[in-house]
Structure 1
Amino acid sequence: MNIQYEGTCQSRITFVYEDSDFPDIKQVFKGEFLSSFPQICNAGLTVYIGLGKKEELTPRKLMDAVSKGVREMKKYNQREAQVDLSPVMEKFGLQSVRCAVLGIKLGLYEYNPFRSNRREETGLYVLKGVEKTEKAEQALKKATNLADSVLYARELVNMPGNLLTPELMAENMAREAEKHGVQAEILDAKQAEALGMGAFLAVGNSSGNPPKLIVLRYLADPDSKQKTALVGKGVTVDTGGYCLKSSGSMLGIKGDMAGGAAVAGAVFALAANKVKTNVVAVIPACENRISSRSFVPGDVIRSMSAKMIEIRNTDCEGRLILSDAVTYAIRKEGATRVLDIATLTGAVVGALGFSTAGVLTNSDEWWDELSAAAKVSGEQYWRLPIFPEYEDLLKSTIADIKNLGEDYCGTITAGLFIKAFAEGLPWIHIDIAGTAWVDKPVFEHQAVGATGAGVTTLYDMLEGAGRRS
């Protein structure tokens, strides 16, 4: 698929604000958001896409409008089109280019690699209304790299579990890292054991597919002492262990590594765009299965931090592996602040649905950075409270901490479990259990399946786009 500034196509996507003056179609098309109207003439097909009211248009809405446009074109078997950005350049400037590129690439994405009649997505999309300058060329290149990183994350999360074991995921990420000049280190179970990563191995040793700790280093700002750790949950198959999941939720157990995919995608985008920052991604990759080596409720395990953990539920495995990964990031990689991201709790879906991720943090300053980045990316995050009585819910009578609280505040206590291992550093926890996967897309740029949640916001946070805006 090619997206460029130069070229001609017979078909055209034209954006219309609500109640704007388009004499040819005004009687039949009002420009309501995401409404569409096709018009065929001798010059070719024009698809009009409504933008809604100008004052209500946001970058995410523009991205969705572009996705709607290219999908409408595809419906009419048109895979080449001019995309006229003239109506939005005044409001968004070169950010319009990013919205268009993400809208095209994400909007046309489908996951069907195992169908015998699969067709590779091809096409030519020419962006019009943008003055061709060096900055415009850079905007196009950066947006393309970012979109490709989101698609990389989607591909990983959509991959069947038998084709993405911890070892295969580690190999995949190492190959991708080499392409982008990112340093990759893969630690095996013996190395993890030598480090005392008992929480990680309690989960990972349950499977015949051995666990791997994936470390991706992108250190491009030698003058800065700040090093951000992005810690992503990497459970490639999660049966729930002896606290077995219900049959109705089993089809989703392959996607429990969406946090790991998000941090890898963000790091690769940062490297591709040569962003000046220091970041290390730590991804504990493993499976949670039932076997003679599986941990069970009532066990007490020793974490890398030396904290003793009482196991109350084996399906609360994500926080266990993240706790050791956070300790590793701090003690072995020298992280000065830590962000963890995971498909961690069903409770966050009950609270925020499938459009918004839950956040806990001990740093107002870092929350402001994340919030500013989200305004650029268009992703939605909601900060949840931290109070002492919530942390009390994790107190164990036989160990330092237990891995499950009560029947309430599930998203909060899951995050606070990880906070207990952050060693007082600035810390953010993001629960994407509701936003990482959609059976019914919420936004136009989404497809059924993996969304690539988190990639753009993490990128924008570290690239500093939110602060500049």
Structure 2
Amino acid sequence: MISVVKKKNEIYSVDFVWEKDAHIRSFKMGLEKVFHGEYLESLLVPLSSQAVLLAGCGKEEELGLLQVKEILAAVSKRSKELHIREISLDPGCFVERLGEKAITAVVLGLGLGGYSYEYSKTEKQESADCNFQLEITEGFEDSLQEGLELLKGICFARNMVNTPGNHLRPMDFARKITDYVSDCGVETEMLVYGQLRTLHMEALYGVGGSSEYPPCLLILRYKGDPGSKEIYGLIGKGITCDTGGYCLKESSSMAGIKGDMAGAAAVTAAVHAAAVRKLKVNITACLPLSENRISQSALLPGDVITGYSGKTIEVLNTDAEGRLVLSDAVSYGIRKEGITKVLDIATLTGAVGQMLGNTIGGTMSDDDSFYQLFERAQSWSAERYLRLPYGKEHEKMIDSDVADVKNVGGGCCGTITAGLFIRRFCEGKPWIHMDIAGTAWCGTPTYAFESKGATGAGVTTLYYLMKEAQAD
């Protein structure tokens, strides 16, 4: 729980200490040998009338929004370890240096530092939540509420990705999403298997037809600016189980096949946040939800299918199914929903993780003006992305001898060719591609605000992109 107070709690409080000031603070408290103000260092000091949790902030010149989130997450984790039920803190030192956006980072750090997923455990760990009382000056309440909404969205995305696959089939996921956005004026529409076949969405139902649990296309509409013809299309991959199909994944990759729907989860959270915050922007999300399995009806390497766009696709790798379902969703969004700008987000390629690791996502775009909005959004979210270049030589890599396009390129540039495959269906609309395969899940957390499992990657960047779009 996070609340705002005017007066500090008299029992537990936090004192943020920079490295350069640590020796003075430590000397006054007789702690010269045990506390040095190092980054993420902490020490609980009992005093006569209260206890102070000293939180090391490291070097002041290195402070950014990511560091604020980490520092507060470390405070949250330490408070939980110490079974502190209520603690007060003044984030003014961060606001002074970074402005009002520091408040949102503080809220996210405190909330995510205490996140855990225990859905399937019969015996829950008994640990009462800590009430964090923030001392903030007037005028920052809006940033506080924004932080709370984004925290809710990230936790939703994490919960969905962490849910075991047998508890989250495509239609289950669709119902979870519909329930989540039901309180904020977002319109929903679901196209089920029979409708997908009638609409000739062979890319989506061709992948989803491999499973007894049918696929669907879920559409979310938020009309925050009815007078504008601009509609931002957010297309999120929602593969709830990905075995790889007949191009079966290696055994070492099987543990993560339940989380191939992180893109759809992130889009849902961002749309909900935009609606709750009443952003003046129009958003249509198209979420292809499906499983990818092995069966008599599953796609085979070498098959040629026809997508909703009318383009023929040579399927050379059945484990490159995400780009297939996304292609139909993009085409439907443009032709039926009238979206004018396209952003797709997906756990798309293992190659992006091999290239950039687990802390940086890969992006591509064919429109510099659109991407400038993304860069501004990224500066607010404190997530990290690298824009990848491409040329005609990369586009030729997905030309097919027997169809309009093939779903994999050569033996290199897998992340780039995967993005370019989706671009083939954007019909000239400004386009941004986000590959979060490396950042959506962590086996070993890198940051203090992460926990083992889903990270909620993309939620904040997508939201801030829509926030930037309304002012564009």
Aligned partners of 2:281 and 2:15: how far apart in 1?
38
- Is the partner of 2:157 in helix, strand or coil? helix
Aligned partners of 1:214 and 1:104: how far apart in 2?
33
Could you tell me whether the CA contact under 8 Å between 2:119 and 2:163 is conserved in 1? no
| Residue 174 of structure 1 pairs with residue 178 of structure 2 | yes
Moved more, 397-406 or 173-182: 173-182
Please state how far the C-alpha of 1:89 moved relative to its aligned partner: 2.3
Please state how far the C-alpha of 1:389 moved relative to its aligned partner: 0.2
- Is the partner of 2:205 in helix, strand or coil? helix
Q: What residue number does 1:433 align with?
A: 437
| Residue 301 of structure 1 pairs with residue 301 of structure 2 | no
TM superposition score normalised by structure 1: 0.96
| Residue 325 of structure 1 pairs with residue 329 of structure 2 | yes
- 1:122-137 equivalences in 2 (<5 Å): 122-128=129-135, 130-131=136-137, 133=138, 135-137=139-141
Alignment-mate amino acid for residue 386 of structure 1: Y
Please state how far the C-alpha of 1:6 moved relative to its aligned partner: 4.5
| Residue 11 of structure 1 pairs with residue 25 of structure 2 | no
Aligned partners of 1:235 and 1:174: how far apart in 2?
17
- 1:247-326 equivalences in 2 (<5 Å): 247-326=251-330
| Residue 358 of structure 1 pairs with residue 365 of structure 2 | no
Alignment-mate amino acid for residue 5 of structure 1: V
- 1:440-459 equivalences in 2 (<5 Å): 440-459=444-463
Could you tell me whether the CA contact under 8 Å between 2:279 and 2:470 is conserved in 1? no
2:421 is matched with which residue: 413, 417, 420? 417
Please state how far the C-alpha of 1:120 moved relative to its aligned partner: 6.5
Q: What residue number does 1:24 align with?
A: 28
Aligned partners of 1:121 and 1:272: how far apart in 2?
28
Aligned partners of 1:397 and 1:93: how far apart in 2?
56
Please state how far the C-alpha of 1:454 moved relative to its aligned partner: 0.2
- 1:5-404 equivalences in 2 (<5 Å): 5-6=5-6, 8=9, 10-20=11-21, 21-22=24-25, 23-25=27-29, 27-28=32-33, 29-118=35-124, 119=126, 122-128=129-135, 130-131=136-137, 133=138, 135-404=139-408
Please state how far the C-alpha of 1:176 moved relative to its aligned partner: 1.3
Mark the CA change 1:61 to 1:465 in structure 2 (over 3 Å): closer, same or farther: farther
Aligned partners of 1:187 and 1:6: how far apart in 2?
50
Alignment-mate amino acid for residue 173 of structure 1: I
- Is the partner of 1:398 in helix, strand or coil? coil
Aligned partners of 1:3 and 1:212: how far apart in 2?
40
Could you tell me whether the CA contact under 8 Å between 2:342 and 2:432 is conserved in 1? yes
Aligned partners of 1:257 and 1:79: how far apart in 2?
35
- Is the partner of 1:416 in helix, strand or coil? helix
1:146-187 CA-partner distances (Å, limit 9, x unpaired) = 110111111111111111100001111111121122111111
Moved more, 325-334 or 30-39: 30-39
Could you tell me whether the CA contact under 8 Å between 1:157 and 1:450 is conserved in 2? yes
Please state how far the C-alpha of 1:415 moved relative to its aligned partner: 0.4
Alignment-mate amino acid for residue 95 of structure 1: K
Alignment-mate amino acid for residue 259 of structure 2: G
Uncovered stretches (5+) of structure 2, i.e. residues with no partner: none
Aligned identity (percent) is 43
Aligned partners of 1:377 and 1:143: how far apart in 2?
11
Please state how far the C-alpha of 1:193 moved relative to its aligned partner: 1.5
TM superposition score normalised by structure 2: 0.96
Could you tell me whether the CA contact under 8 Å between 2:312 and 2:404 is conserved in 1? yes
Please state how far the C-alpha of 1:46 moved relative to its aligned partner: 1.6
Aligned partners of 2:267 and 2:383: how far apart in 1?
15
Alignment-mate amino acid for residue 93 of structure 2: P
Alignment-mate amino acid for residue 331 of structure 2: T
Could you tell me whether the CA contact under 8 Å between 2:10 and 2:49 is conserved in 1? no
Mark the CA change 1:231 to 1:121 in structure 2 (over 3 Å): closer, same or farther: farther
Could you tell me whether the CA contact under 8 Å between 2:222 and 2:283 is conserved in 1? yes
Number of aligned residue pairs: give it. 465
Root-mean-square deviation (CA, aligned residues, Å) is 1.6
Alignment-mate amino acid for residue 19 of structure 1: K
Aligned partners of 1:144 and 1:120: how far apart in 2?
21
1:353-391 CA-partner distances (Å, limit 9, x unpaired) = 000000011011122111111111110000001100001
Please state how far the C-alpha of 1:257 moved relative to its aligned partner: 0.1
Could you tell me whether the CA contact under 8 Å between 1:18 and 1:30 is conserved in 2? yes
Alignment-mate amino acid for residue 209 of structure 2: N
- Is the partner of 2:456 in helix, strand or coil? coil
